[in-house]
Amino acid sequence: MPKVLVSDKLSETAVDIFRQRGIEVDFEPNLGKDKDALLAKIGEYDGLAIRSATKATEKIIAAADNLKVIGRAGIGTDNIDKDAASKKGIIVMNTPFGNMTTTAEHAIAMMFAVARQIPEASASTHAGKWEKSKFMGVELTGKTLGVIGAGNIGGIVCDRARGLKMKVIAFDPFLSEEKADKMGVEKVELEDLLKRADFITLHVPKTEQTANMITAERIAMMKKGVRIINCARGGLVDEEALAEALKSGHVAGAAFDVFAVEPATESPLFNLPNVVVTPHLGAATTEAQENVALQVAEQMSNYLLDGAVENALNMPSMTAEEAKVMGPWVKLASHLGNFVGQMTDEPIKAINILYDGTVANMNLPALNCAVIAGIMKRVNPDVNMVSAPVIAAERGINISTTNQAKTGVFDGYIKVTVVTAERERSVAGTCFSDGKPRFIQIKGINIDAEVGQHMLYTTNEDVPGIIGTLGQTMGDNGVNIANFTLGRSEVGGEAIALLYIDHAVSDQAIEALRKTEMFGQVARLEFDVA
């Protein structure tokens, strides 16, 4: 039974989801604040469910010997060392959809607040002042809103702003003209947006491309009197440059929920007139907190029980429905990779994967990960679908894929080719209707072989006596053959044999085969068929 630790405050309903799904769960909502206690316990668990208080550092992850998945109830994963998790084969997933509406509503609320100077007017009135003329605001109706990032949250902001009768322009490299038309917004380039917008709101993740994207130079492009809202990620805006623009009057106001350094105990934006600041409250509603908690519990349960990967940040996602259909093909992809990995001693330069027929329409990124993991198991037995692509990238291995319509007798098949400086090795396989993976081609030679836990692979010239020698030698060394498959390129040409045997072949048996001088290659193979 999988075991999950909930180390931050999650709703009891979410905790119950784990229990109802048959997962053992320890609910310790304050453990995440005690690094030493977390370090001591983390090795017991298959899953870790957190919010923002728990810091899944490299040290914590190094101690997590059984951990398979970290689930973040929320969008931001800055508190998780994703590189360390990936290298250790731990899936990191978040819940990007549970708080979309809440975050979008907060951005709209912040836009109203800065347009009408509500916080300052409220503080003044609470102080017994009646400074009606001091807080002259502006209407949103008819104003141009520039939305940077028109994805899930940005899209909701666009919809709400149109309801307020604002003109909405959007910059997003992934926004098509058709989608923009459907949303009722005008797709523009960033420079055009900066020059035209009366209000600018940011809704992008923090990446190398977006970090500090609003610089002093870009602020200078904006029209005088612009108001800037950031409820996305700290570090998107140069806070020093914005503070100077606010002081000069070029920017009329700003509303920030996020900061370059959090918790933000100081900032260049603090204590400036018409600057509204909140302590990262974008997702802080009862509904959102419940939604993301339920979502992370379902996602983690789906993965631990069914192998479904949803909203993962370091592995291709695969829904529960896909996992059911693709399960045999994922296993096949792993076996094919494992076969060529066990046969390859020299450094690998490239891995080429061909998908033919029905399998070409499946989730190929997930299948790619299974192939790569199979190949890498020879050098790292602990590798999995998460860590394998990281290891391959570190070694400079080029990965290429090709998908094509059905070309042969099989409804679908996968072919894996490994390229080294000396040679290429290839193996192909398919899944029959019974869901069992099978090898159908090795080195271009057709074959039909089941995949067994213990196997023996040999190559030879197509001459009489091979079958007898194989059988006699195996028998002499106490090896029972469960299945025996042969293939050849042509009469008298190159031939191969693949034996499915009951137990691992001993070194003595391998050496006995080699001494016959009838075989080019003799290789012991092991596969995980559980």
| Catalytic residue status for 262 | yes
DSSP per position, 461-494: ES-TTHHHHHHHHHHHTTPPEEEEEEEESSTTSE
Q: Are 493 and 460 in contact (CB under 8 A)?
A: no
240 included as an active-site residue? no
| Three-state secondary structure readout of 201-230 | EECCCCCCCCCCCECHHHHHHCCCCEEEEE
Closest Cα to residue 45, out of 13, 71, 75, 76? Answer: 71
Taking a C-beta distance cutoff of 8 angstroms, is the pair 327, 306 a contact?
no
Structure tokens at 527: 């596969």
The region, left, alpha or beta by phi > 0 then psi within -120 to 50, assigned to residue 354 is beta
How many helices, marked H, and strands, marked E, lie in the chain?
A: 17, 22
Three-class secondary structure of residue 242 per DSSP:
helix
Nearest to 282 by CA among 335, 328, 238, 229: 229
Q: Which of 21, 280, 335, 488 is catalytic?
A: 280
The span from the CA of 7 to the CA of 311, in Å, is 20
Nearest to 186, CA basis, from 218, 151, 144, 153: 144
Among this protein's residues, is 280 annotated catalytic?
yes
Token pair of 43, please? 């090795």
The residues facing 79 across adjacent strands are: none
Catalytic residue among 262, 322, 450, 526: 262
d(CA 431, CA 454): 19
List the end-to-end C-alpha distance of the chain, in Å, as a whole number. 16
User: Catalytic pick from 21, 72, 233, 438?
Assistant: 233
Q: Active-site residues: which are they?
A: 233, 262, 280
